Amino acid sequence: MTSALVIGGGLAGTTAALALADRGHAVTLAEARPRLGGLAFSFSRDSAAGPLTVDNGQHVYLRCCTAYQGFLRRVGGAALAPVQRRMDVPVLHAGTRRVGRLRRTAAPVPLHLTAGLARYPHLTLAERASVGRAALALRRLDPADPALDAESFGHWLERHGQNRATIDALWDLVGVATLNARADEVSLALAAKVFRTGLLTSPGAADIGLPEVPLGHLHDTLAAAALERAGVRTLLATKARALHPGPEGRGWRADLTGRDDTPYHLDADVVVLAVPQREAHGLLPPGALPDPGRLLDLADAPILNLHVVYDRRVLRAPFFAALGSPVQWVFDRTAPSGLTGGGQYLALSQSAAGAEIDLPAKVLRKRYLPELERLLPAAAHARVRDFFVTRERTATFAPAPGTARLRPAAATGARGLFLAGAWTATGWPATMEGAVRSGLAAARAAAAV
């Protein structure tokens, strides 16, 4: 039986381990943290509002994210992260307090968005018409065309008649949340992938899936149980220090450090590096990639998450997006967090947050609580029982023009060594879907050895 070592227990590594086990490998998974889940995890907080289970950041997925849905089915969590019957996104303007809705119908593409766009109050009639023309032009693009990666999405939008209002109220409303960058800083290829796949391929592709349980339950508890059922040996709190050719040049030897800081090594025929790109760069043996320095050129982009617990309910919808405010997306996480006693827990997800990621919590509190009161009048009459911040400084790779050439394929130039992670060449931005696809690609490539 072929032995396989997967280094990294995020979504990419867990997926790769399960897929390798399905192919008959004897799999060991080593994860440096004391838990699985990577950057999509949960933790416990002893809050003034009572004990909470907190997601480090709000993660959603779309119906078009078929690989991630397959992961949820595999670990037994599909029913715990249901998808909307039809896409319906409330969009609240802070200045007018008017709510618009981005909705779809069951009509064929692109007519499924026509009725919703026609009623969208945050754009003029002429702006809505210009959005329709740009969407049709976007549908004709091929995200795999290398020329698209050289151009920014913002430049393309400008060439196709999109003004600041249309970019703010639609293109960036969706794009910042999915790409973690504003249109001017996004590769046209990645933007085309997001918008074509989500909005311009099938009517239900952009229906939103939202976990009703903590992420840790899906990506750690259920994932660990699935790995155990599959026969995968899981080593938590185990750090990979180096990777060398195995004895007599066959396979690989990984130098590891376990929970007690005792160094040891583990031999395997196949290794999958499912760690962030900088960590992968440090572990890659000579010759594995023609230009390993490119991994260091793949920049990181942060996401900031603000958590507010009120003493009463201030939001009726499960989530909304905001315009005319620094607030981007707000989610009701009361039930998943375990909060009781009649209060409400809101999570604010702030992507493309480079300017704010290092601001003190007291500064962010002063900036964002008045904004929530402007968006949600009931918040002005509520008492804040808890306010805290979580920061992911390396949440995603930056999806800038020219990024495609920096993202390596799953197979390397070293026999039996493979890469997985949302930063690899999946064709997708850095999402949970991209991470799962990368793990599947690594397992397929390993099966061909």
Predicted local distance difference test score (pLDDT) of residue 336: 97
Predicted local distance difference test score (pLDDT) of residue 295: 98
Can you spell out the DSSP letters for 402-437?
T-GGG---SB-SSTTEEE-STTSS-SS-SSHHHHHH
Predicted local distance difference test score (pLDDT) of residue 347: 98
Residue 336: CA count within 13 A, CB half-sphere: 26
Q: Name residue 137's beta-bridge partners.
A: none
Predicted local distance difference test score (pLDDT) of residue 249: 82
As averages over each run of 10 residues, the pLDDT of the chain (449 residues) reads: 95 98 97 97 97 96 98 98 97 96 94 94 97 96 97 98 97 98 98 96 96 98 98 98 92 94 94 98 96 97 98 97 98 97 96 98 98 97 98 98 98 97 98 98 92
Predicted local distance difference test score (pLDDT) of residue 176: 98
- The candidate with the shortest Cα–Cα distance to 371, out of 311, 313, 329, is 329
Predicted local distance difference test score (pLDDT) of residue 248: 83
Provide φ and ψ at 141, rounded to 5°. -80, 150
Stated pTM of the model: 0.97
In 8-163, which ranges are E strands? 26-30, 42-47, 50-55, 61-62, 88-93, 99-103
Predicted local distance difference test score (pLDDT) of residue 113: 94
Is-contact 343 330, C-beta < 8 A? no
Predicted local distance difference test score (pLDDT) of residue 102: 96
Provide φ and ψ at 272, rounded to 5°. -115, 120
